[in-house]
Chain A
């Protein structure tokens, strides 16, 4: 079935770049997403990429998509303490009617 996998933890120093990786199984996904969840809060859509794109850049965020390997990554440049949160990778389900989420990567930024 559809599945999305992420590493659970990432720890970086302030000012460094963070790279969060994700693999997915459904090659028919039209969009792939990155969401951010701060403690006790709901989800915030950070960015998404259309499946026919390889890369998308939005200020400090860079999304890379390797469709052949079904691998998605999110790079955060100049990581700040405010970036500490859980980051979820998600893909469309096969019917295109909902989102399938990974378990989330907890990003910890130390000063």
Chain B
């Protein structure tokens, strides 16, 4: 089946530093990838939709200058948390689908990246 990987799986950083998280579709091409954030005991919240070759679409309330998304190829999207603060500590999950852009019936999720900001 389709596999989506994320790297790193866990990162601890100092407050004020930037952290890059990679999301890769290993055996299919993904025109669109999605980035979610999950706080403890809460649901996943969609942060942004990453489109290959164009700017990401951010959900309301998500700071695009703080969460930089780059979708450089059909198999790689990156999320950079800039000037991270302890409140950015969370579980970040990406998903991708081999279907057409905007079709959500076959979304495959990465294993997630746990970010801890000290």
Q: Which residues of A contact B (CB under 8 A)?
A: 4, 30-31, 35, 40-45, 48, 88, 92-93, 95-104
B107 neighbours in A (Cβ, 8 Å): 45, 99
B111 at the interface (CB under 8 A from A): yes
Choose one: A42, A92, A103; the contact of B42 (CB below 8 Å): A103
- Give CA–CA (A30, B109) in the complex, Å: 19
Given A97-B49, A103-B42: A42 and B104 within 8 A (CB)?
no
**Chain B residues within 8 Å of A, Cβ to Cβ:** 6, 32, 34, 36, 41-46, 49, 93, 95, 102-105, 107-112, 114
Q: How far is the CA of A45 from the CA of B97 in the complex (A)?
A: 12
Hey, which chain B residues are within 8 Å of A103, CB to CB? Answer: 41-43
What distance in Å separates the Cβ of B91 from its nearest Cβ neighbour in chain A?
A: 9
A-B pairs, 7 with minimum CB distance: A42-B111, A43-B109, A103-B43, A42-B112, A101-B43, A101-B44, A97-B102
- Shortest Cβ distance from residue A43 to the other chain B in the assembled complex, whole angstroms: 4
Q: Which of A35, A101, A102 has the most CB of B within 10 A?
A: A101
From B34, B41, B109, B111, residue with most partner A Cβ within 10 Å: B109
Across-interface contacts of B110 in A (CB, < 8 A): 42
What distance in Å separates the Cβ of B9 from its nearest Cβ neighbour in chain A? 9
Distance, CA A4 to CA B36, complexed state (A): 16
- Decide: A92 near B104, CB < 8 A? Known: A98-B34, A98-B49, A102-B43: yes
Q: Which residues of A contact B45 (CB under 8 A)?
A: 101
Q: CA A73 – CA B43 in complex, angstroms?
A: 18
Picked from A40, A42, A93, A104, the residue with its CB within 8 Å of the CB of B43 is: A104
- State in angstroms the CA–CA spacing of A65 and B69 once bound together: 36
Contact of B104 with A99 in the complex, beta carbons under 8 Å: yes
Question: 10 new A-B pairs (CB below 8 Å) besides A31-B105, A40-B114, A96-B104?
Answer: A42-B109, A43-B95, A43-B109, A45-B107, A95-B102, A97-B32, A97-B102, A99-B104, A100-B46, A104-B43
